[in-house]
Amino acid sequence: MTDSPIQSRLLARRAFLRNGLLAAGALAGTPLLSACGTGGSESGGGAATGKITLGTTKIMQFDPYLTNTDIHIHAFYTYLLDYPSDGKYEPIPAGAEKWEFAADRKSVTITLREAKFHSGAPVVAEDVVTGVKRAQDPDAGFTLAQPTAFIASATAVDPRTVRLTFKAPTPEPLVLDWMFAFPLIPSASNTPAKLEREPAGSGPFQLAEFRRDQRLVLKKNPDFYAKDRPYLDQVEYRFFTDEDALVAGLESGSVDGAAYLGFRHAERLRQRFTLVEGSGRMSLFFMNATIAPFDNKLLRQAIARAIDRKRILDQVSFGIGDPVYTAFMPSSPAFEKGYLDSHGFDLDAAGELLERSGGARKAVAGVSSGSPSVATLEIIQADLKKIGFQLDIAPQEEAAYLDALFASKLQCTVAMQPNNMQSPSLIARGRQMLTTKANTTFHANVPPAYVAAVAAAAAAITPEAQKTAYAELNKVLVDEAWAIGISTVPSLFALDKRITGLVTDVRDFVDLSNTKG
Amino acid sequence: MYAHLIRRLLQFAVVLVLGSIAVWAFTFALPGDPASVLLGPDASPAELEATRQRLGLDGTVVEQYLSWIGHALAGDLGSSYYSGQPVVAELLDRIPATVQLAGFAMVLTLVIAVPVGIVVALRPRSVAGRLFQGYLTAGLAVPTFWLGLLLIIVLAVQLRWLPASSDYVPFWGDPGGALTATILPALAIAVHTSSVTARFLATSLGDVMGKDYIRTARAKGVPERDVIRRHALRNASLPTITIVGLQLGGFLGGTVVIEAVFNYPGLGRLLYTAIGERDYALVQGGVLFVVATFLLLNLLVDLGYAVLDPRIRLT
């Protein structure tokens, strides 16, 4: 029988639908069969030594003069010196082989180690001079501008020797902290535009691949100055947008480790993985003194007494971390434990100060939504309510929150502050803590006593002078009460048990140079 | 037929332009500064200003839109603020992953939905019919992300059969690897979409089975199997095709949550990240692509109607 053209088309359509369904069934069935047969198949991770895969939710930036993302920067760059990861401030030669202070403490002569950048070019004194010039310009190197303020000039004495001349006699700890924070970068690459997407250092690892929000692959730098390190041939950071997905990836073996995890996962992961606590940062309650009601110092002091650090540590940080009263880590020489008692949680004292302040009894706290700071603020909110102060919490998406924070639009917030290392004057690095009109808490009205105390701490040479200066700085910080310390917030890593040697330095930057996997 | 096609293409162009304006307006209404996100919290005000100028963010919103649409018409969607790569290249990098996931999810959807829909429509009181009705209710009620997490916990974390996080493995290069990497997110999506599709199919098939021409076919002695295949299913397929087309469009731009749960590097996750980073150029280009794809699929569905039902061609 011969089909008409219409029948042929209908038959062809039927055949197409029938074949399509059959093909669809086969395609769908294959993965099910495949899934049943493959057993423990996993992507990434694996047990191969020499390569590890770490998951993270952090965003990457490559310019060490701008970044405070800390997961990879120590892998790309060598700093002039290192501190041990245990929080002690004993300098270890790194990019600098040795250094010698002038007797009058008005200069230091640094001898660079013989080393090569990833490009193959040698590390020379001129690179340090270029780097110092960039660091001195607040518009080009914001992170390093304040710590570099004590340097008058840098001069290349010879290809491997550089001399830094100070504006005034400067204490050794401040210079050592600066050397610890100063990355070696080739002169030709040391601009924000060039470093924005391509790191150019001499650190233990080189950039092998970077795929936006997917992966960053580091490969061993064969010319790293320490000949036997790094031990790993390759490190892959895999980016996750969701922390729960990251933990699931870790538990299923898709990644060998998870970096900078939330504390809520710690207990569950403790049995199966090695948990590593990094030095971390500090959580602080900031009040904006340029906006009512926190332009009232007595009110700020009242709020400071209503912060229950122990409860926050127990309930938000799951017992991980230590209480702080302002932005000094317990390892800082300026840390005075007694302030935790004399200016600690006391609702009666807070209530009394609130009465005396005579100020408004209502404020709004901005906060990044989804962060542990929300839970911290809820505890503070509940305690303030008991003394008759209404604190409303307004969570915002992170980009919007940062925008409002830097524009001084928030009345108060809970935010992080980095470690100030062994130089207490470095407390003035953060935007809320600057001694200039760029201070987002005070603008042009930074308390003169604070400016003077920071300057004194940066100039105290002898141990006696340092003791006096640090005590005065503490007194001013507690009296002005705009940056109320809550607790340290250590960084948390969960690693496959075969991984050893992963640490963070005192800035909380991951150091992989001694890591084995 | 041609008039129908031209009419639909004109509608397509108008909606695309209106969509681009809406996307632009919504993106700029978002609080947050792209330069601040790009440079990080430690950047100075001068650096931020210079970056805004470099990104072309110093003009008015209208100026920026006109500049962007002018370039877009020439095929240039600009460069990502964050990576510096052309937006087209960024999208082309992710589209294959999304298409693969969408393809797998749609195949699974149809494989589940067609038999389930038929059984529910034709044998609603049988054991299988009751079980499938339970599946439809559960599939619609269970949130996709929750099911995704459940699949991860059971199949990836506990049993370790499949990876919890998925890389994109091209199907043509490594079919086994591609299936292994994609099956979990595809299944998490398909359970919901198959429930919707099966419900549509069951309802329309139930309606069709009561029509006169079905009774006529039966009266003529056509075997029941052929009555269902040749007469009922074809006529019941039009609303199902509509919903399948819409779902496919949704897959290509709307699997953000599943891509985040499974860490799958698709277009949805790229757009999610771009919104967080205020990468306006990428958000604009990506959403424009999604809108265009959705419209295109709608157009194809309409044309598919015309192919399946000649009456539509003639109207």
Name beta bridge partners: A483: A286
pLDDT of residue B301: 76
The CATH class of B87-308 is mainly alpha
* Per-residue DSSP letter, A176: H
The stretch A11-21 carries a mean pLDDT of 43
Extents of the domains making up chain A:
51-62+203-273+496-511, 79-186, 281-490
- The three-state secondary structure class of B71 is helix
Report yes or no: B157 and B165 within 8 Å, Cβ to Cβ: no
* A67 contacts in chain B (CB < 8 Å): 40, 42
Burial of B220 (0-12, 13-18, 19+ CB in 10 A): exposed
Q: At what angle do helices A297-304 and A463-480 cross, to 10 degrees?
A: 100
The CATH class of A281-490 is alpha beta
Extents of the domains making up chain B:
1-74, 87-308
b/e code A344-377 from CB counts within 10 Å (16+ = b) = bbebebbbebbeebebeeebebbbbeebbbbbbb
For residue A224 the two structure tokens come to 């790293």
Q: Which of residues 162-191 of B touch A (CB under 8 A)?
A: 162-167, 169, 175-177, 179-183, 186
* Per-residue DSSP letter, A182: -
Q: Name residues whose C-beta falls within 8 Å of residue A392's C-beta, 6 or more positions apart in sequence.
A: A362, A363, A364, A365, A381
- Measured distance CA(B4)–CA(B306) in Å, rounded: 9
Distance from CA of A316 to the nearest CA of B (A): 24
pLDDT tier at B311, thresholds 50, 70, 90: low
- The three-state secondary structure class of A33 is helix
Distance from CA of A195 to the nearest CA of B (A): 11
- The three-state secondary structure class of A116 is strand
Domains A79-186 and A281-490 in one fold: no
Asked whether the beta carbons of residue B164 and residue A249 sit closer than 8 angstroms, the reply is yes
Helix (H) / strand (E) containing A30: helix A5-38
Q: What secondary structure, in 3-state letters, does A209-250 show?
A: EEECCCEEEEEECCCCCCCCCCCCCEEEEEECCCHHHHHHHH
pLDDT tier at A205, thresholds 50, 70, 90: very high
Name beta bridge partners: B79: B86
pLDDT of residue A484: 97
Count of CB pairs separated by less than 8 Å, A with B: 186
Residue B234 has pLDDT above 90, yes or no: no
Closest listed residue to residue A432, CA positions, set A421, A422, A447: A447
The whole-chain average pLDDT of chain A stands at: 87
Output the pTM of the full model.
0.80
pLDDT tier at A13, thresholds 50, 70, 90: very low
Return the CATH number of the domain spanning residue range A79-186: 3.90.76.10
Report yes or no: B113 and B204 within 8 Å, Cβ to Cβ: no
Helix (H) / strand (E) containing B216: helix B212-219
pLDDT tens digit sequence for A506-517:
888 899 999 998
- Measured distance CA(A300)–CA(A58) in Å, rounded: 33
pLDDT of residue A68: 56
Q: Which of residues 51-80 of B touch A (CB under 8 A)?
A: 80
Report yes or no: A256 and A481 within 8 Å, Cβ to Cβ: no
Amino acid at position A422, single letter:
Q
- Measured distance CA(A12)–CA(A8) in Å, rounded: 6
- Measured distance CA(A424)–CA(A335) in Å, rounded: 9
Lowest model confidence (mean pLDDT) among A428-437, A456-465, B100-109: A428-437
Q: State the ipTM, two decimals.
A: 0.73
Distance from CA of B160 to the nearest CA of A (A): 5
pLDDT of residue B312: 63
pLDDT of residue A46: 41
Distances (CA, A) of A498 to A218, A257, A274, A389: 19, 10, 9, 51
- One DSSP character per residue, A464-481 reads HHHHHHHHHHHHHHHHH-
Return the CATH number of the domain spanning residue range A51-62+203-273+496-511: 3.40.190.10
Q: Does B45 touch chain A (CB under 8 A)?
A: yes
Q: Name residues whose C-beta falls within 8 Å of residue A84's C-beta, 6 or more positions apart in sequence.
A: A90, A92
pLDDT tens digit sequence for B57-79:
777 878 888 888 888 888 888 88
